[in-house]
Chains A and B, each alone.
Chain A
């Protein structure tokens, strides 16, 4: 679909040749936030939440986005569902830029792009019954006729494994896991093609986490919906994702198929991330572990050159100057990493 939507889109043509059609293309996305507060006369400091990110989301896949808090992963999620406008760059849905759409067109497209929030308590209006919470968007977008509404809501509750007798209850009468199920039902009620799950299980008990993850997987099989799964824990992401992008300070440092990434992490940050979590990764056991020292630098003044060089054990002089690009690990590979040093070492 990309490239056929007019010559204006031509400059967004994929530079990577993939056999599949991307559902969404993110190109050089940047999102800066001014720091709140009054600094009279001085220029306001700016947080570089997302600072130049490129990737694709393919139909039917689950793309995991992993990184520390503040690395910009949730910001990307908000751009994908058009909750915020990017500072620069584009989020292209089926070749169309979300920020260039007319209000009417965007309103229609919004039903395709839904979101499941982390905090299930604040994602449901405390003063409304579940029935009303689910019904309003369905009726507004005329997903079903009014006389089919009851049936549709029963179907949705059934889909997420809640008894339909619960529909007249208020959010505070549910447990965290149940509320997250309702959040999923709400996101799916508009029959979306892409759902951004912004840390959907981080606030839940471990036993409930597994249930919700399994529910998400099962729904994907049934409904062929695409997920962007944002998390800071590797376990959950590894379990649900086909591909994973690792973020550090507003940049993607490595992106690869899940198996490939865990078998052969290239970027030093990815390696450090894996070393820091107690995952069974036999291939890594013989290798020296990378233990990160120091704090993550401020995103107000991100380091020049490679953003990771201040904490990187392999950093060389050029890392302080040259801003590394994402490049294929092997020619033609879909495994991309932004570390020329490690890649050069591997060649030798």
Chain B
């Protein structure tokens, strides 16, 4: 039964204690981010006269250089970072899966063209490509999402192409060719469902990388533009040595959040990989 396979995956996933803890952490963070407008005590962009104040009763995570409430800003920043990561992952996965399917199934010249484009994009220094693209198209939320989406797809394309190549040789695909079934049926109903597992695992790592890239770009001033808060541009304020040494509340929470988000996403991805591996027992 479909149910029993699904239950087996859940069961195996729950064996990874770290991954389960990470999953709970992610769920809580996501809920906080989604509920930001309700939870946050202040408007994240509201300026007050208490500049760079350490945590107090009024602002329990302190205020930034122009007097905005750090807690409210962090809530909204996680919102933006998760959104950028998710949107970039969805875009790159869709592009990668589509191109990988086409290249793997049809082969020949189409395969060669697609895979050489993939190799070309992969051979560029990644962060440089993103920086150049950001400076050409200009910084901004949607530009960042699109740029990250368009540079992250080669990995997914390769992954899908590889599994399509091996699935194409299986007897059940050949059986469907012999049965005269059309290509669209074989591609979408027979091959695609069997590639979902690895793609899902790969997508989690793209998700983590996208969050990191957004943070890096915003830190460099090429990403999400102020006053919109993102984890990266909150860190941007920590460029000076006095802030780094004397005002840790301005940068430590954002930095720790990035680390925790990326680490827990990766843990979940790892556990997912083990859980959906059909050769694994119990």
Pair from one complex: yes
Instruction: Enumerate the 6 nearest inter-chain pairs by beta-carbon distance, A residue then B residue, closest first.
Output: A110-B180, A123-B171, A137-B179, A117-B171, A107-B180, A122-B171
List chain B positions with a Cβ less than 8 A from chain A.
1-2, 5, 170-172, 174-182, 185, 189-190, 193-194, 278
- New A-B pairs, 14, CB < 8 Å, besides A83-B174, A125-B193: A82-B178, A83-B178, A107-B180, A108-B180, A110-B180, A115-B174, A118-B171, A123-B171, A125-B194, A140-B180, A140-B181, A140-B182, A169-B1, A170-B2
Interface residue ranges of A69-126 to B (CB < 8 Å): 81-83, 106-108, 110-111, 113-115, 117-119, 122-126
Indicate if A148 sits at the interface (CB-CB under 8 A). Answer: no
B198 to chain A, nearest CB (A): 14
Contact B180 A124 (CB under 8 A): no
Q: A108 contacts which chain B residues (CB < 8 A)?
A: 180
A125-B190, A126-B194, A170-B1 in contact; A186/B175 too (CB < 8 A)? Answer: yes
Query: A330 vs B95: C-alpha distance in the bound complex, in angstroms?
Result: 66
- Give 21 CB contacts A-B under 8 Å: A82-B178, A83-B174, A111-B179, A114-B178, A114-B179, A115-B178, A122-B170, A122-B171, A126-B194, A127-B193, A133-B172, A136-B181, A137-B180, A137-B181, A140-B185, A141-B179, A169-B1, A170-B1, A170-B5, A186-B179, A190-B180
Contact B179 A190 (CB under 8 A): yes
B200 to chain A, nearest CB (A): 14
A290 to chain B, nearest CB (A): 36
Q: A140 contacts which chain B residues (CB < 8 A)?
A: 179-182, 185
A272 to chain B, nearest CB (A): 32
Q: A110 contacts which chain B residues (CB < 8 A)?
A: 178-180
A140 to chain B, nearest CB (A): 6
Contact A126 B181 (CB under 8 A): no
Chain A interface SS verdict (over half): loop
B50 to chain A, nearest CB (A): 59
Q: A113 contacts which chain B residues (CB < 8 A)?
A: 178
- Name the one of B1, B2, B171, B180 contacting A141, with C-beta atoms under 8 angstroms: B180
**A189 nearest CB neighbor, chain B only:** B179
**B190 nearest CB neighbor, chain A only:** A125
**A107 nearest CB neighbor, chain B only:** B180
Q: B185 contacts which chain A residues (CB < 8 A)?
A: 136, 140
Contact B2 A117 (CB under 8 A): no
Q: B172 contacts which chain A residues (CB < 8 A)?
A: 122-125, 133
**A106 nearest CB neighbor, chain B only:** B180
Query: A311 vs B179: C-alpha distance in the bound complex, in angstroms?
Result: 41
Q: B189 contacts which chain A residues (CB < 8 A)?
A: 136
Q: B190 contacts which chain A residues (CB < 8 A)?
A: 125
A312 to chain B, nearest CB (A): 36
- Name the one of B5, B177, B193, B194 contacting A83, with C-beta atoms under 8 angstroms: B177
Query: A108 vs B182: C-alpha distance in the bound complex, in angstroms?
Result: 11
